[in-house]
């Protein structure tokens, strides 16, 4: 078995050169990134009882799955973490490596997927951000991701809820009306309800510790954490 959906990989490979263009096809992710980084940072600092403000993630090993061009891997590295970024798209990894080198950051990028990643040391933190709605088999994907996480390690999963509202906002609105994303970026059938994600994760030794919504504010063009999980949401799991 493998978790790779070839059609999804081809789709993102075609626009790989756009990853670091804040006004390009990944503009929504650039807008999205500050709140994702803050959420991850705040939770890791709390969970790992970190006191240092300079390089707070020093000695923390992070795996960024479906890292794309490195939009999350780079901030994690700047915070001091030892980062491995993996993606099934060779073009994405080429872009990520080039940008990291240009930014003078040491990040271990690999063209692979969780089930094929060979590592002797498991990770303290795993990021599965906006990726599970693009994989072939969510249960298998989470199972293989969980194997790479240390006991009591933290996994963050961000995705889209399967609701009528998410179809209207994330597909009709974002892709067809506002043109924020290329048409066909998302497939509503692959969106995941929080309870389904929680149950699948539980089967794979991941216990939910936190669930939050992520909401876009049209007035100031920014995202915020909210209690509304009807469209975008982010969950934090601890490996039991």
Q: Is 218 contained in some domain?
A: yes
CATH of the domain at 101: 3.40.50.150
Does residue 117 surpass a pLDDT of 90?
A: yes
Taking alpha carbons only, the member of 41, 63, 58 closest to residue 125 is 63
At 222, is the pLDDT very low, low, confident or very high (cuts 50, 70, 90)?
A: confident
* Residue 220 exposed, middle or buried by CB count within 10 Å (0-12, 13-18, 19+): exposed
CA 148 to the chain's CA centroid: 16
pLDDT at 179: 86
Inform me whether the pLDDT recorded for 221 exceeds 90: no
Q: Give the position of tokens 């179809």.
A: 167
78 within domain boundaries: yes
Domain range holding 139? Answer: 6-160+190-239
CA distance 182 to 80: 34
Flag whether 211 is in a domain: yes
**In which band, very low, low, confident or very high, does the pLDDT at 216 lie, cut at 50, 70 and 90?**
confident
Asked if the structure places residue 172 within a domain, the reply is no
More confident site: 58 or 180: 58
Count of the separate structural domains present in the chain: 1
Average pLDDT score, the chain: 95
The pLDDT tens digits of the residues spanning 58-97 come to: 999 999 999 999 999 999 999 999 999 999 999 999 999 9
Does residue 170 sit within a domain? no
Question: Quick one: pLDDT at residue 178?
Answer: 81
> Between the CA of residue 93 and those of 66, 85, 160, 207, 239, what are the distances in Å?
10, 8, 24, 31, 28
Q: Is the pLDDT of residue 198 over 80?
A: yes
pLDDT of amino acid 1: 79
Q: What is the predicted pLDDT for the residue at 96?
A: 98
- Any domain includes 182: no
Q: Is the pLDDT of residue 218 over 80?
A: no
Closest CA relative to residue 61, chosen from 92, 83, 76, 42: 83
Task: Please provide residue 187's backbone torsions phi and psi, each rounded to the nearest 5 degrees.
Answer: -120, 110
Has residue 217 got a pLDDT over 90? no
Decide if 181 is inside a domain.
no
Q: Which stretch of DSSP H or E encloses residue 143? A: helix 138-147
Structure tokens that stand for 33 in this block? 């990134």
* Mean pLDDT confidence for 10-37: 94
pLDDT computed for residue 98 by the predictor? 98
> Average of pLDDT values for 106-129?
97
Share of the chain above pLDDT 70, in %: 100
What is the distance between the alpha carbons of residues 161 and 196, in angstroms, rounded to a whole number? Answer: 10
Residue 27 lies in a domain: yes
């Amino acid at each position: 078995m493998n978790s790779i959906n070839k059609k999804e990989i081809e789709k993102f490979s075609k626009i790989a050169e756009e990853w670091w263009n804040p006004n390009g096809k990944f503009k929504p992710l650039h807008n999205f990134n500050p709140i994702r980084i803050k959420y991850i940072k705040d939770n890791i600092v709390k969970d790992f009882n970190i006191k240092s403000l300079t390089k707070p993630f020093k000695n923390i090993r992070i795996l960024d799955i479906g890292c794309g061009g490195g939009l999350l891997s780079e901030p994690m590295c700047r915070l001091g973490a030892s980062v491995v970024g993996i993606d099934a798209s060779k073009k994405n990894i080429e872009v990520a490596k080039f940008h990291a080198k240009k930014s003078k950051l040491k990040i271990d990028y690999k063209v692979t997927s969780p089930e094929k990643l060979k590592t002797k040391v498991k990770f303290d933190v795993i990021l599965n951000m906006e990726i599970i709605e693009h994989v072939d088999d969510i249960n298998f994907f989470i199972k293989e991701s969980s194997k790479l996480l240390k006991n009591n390690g933290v996994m963050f999963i961000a995705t889209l809820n399967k609701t009528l509202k998410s179809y209207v906002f994330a597909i009709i609105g974002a892709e067809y009306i506002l043109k924020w994303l290329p048409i066909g970026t998302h497939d509503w059938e692959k969106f995941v309800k929080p309870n389904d994600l929680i149950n699948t994760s539980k089967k794979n030794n991941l216990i939910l510790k936190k669930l939050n919504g992520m909401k876009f504010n049209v007035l100031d063009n920014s995202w915020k954490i909210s209690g509304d999980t009807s469209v975008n949401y982010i969950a934090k799991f601890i490996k039991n």
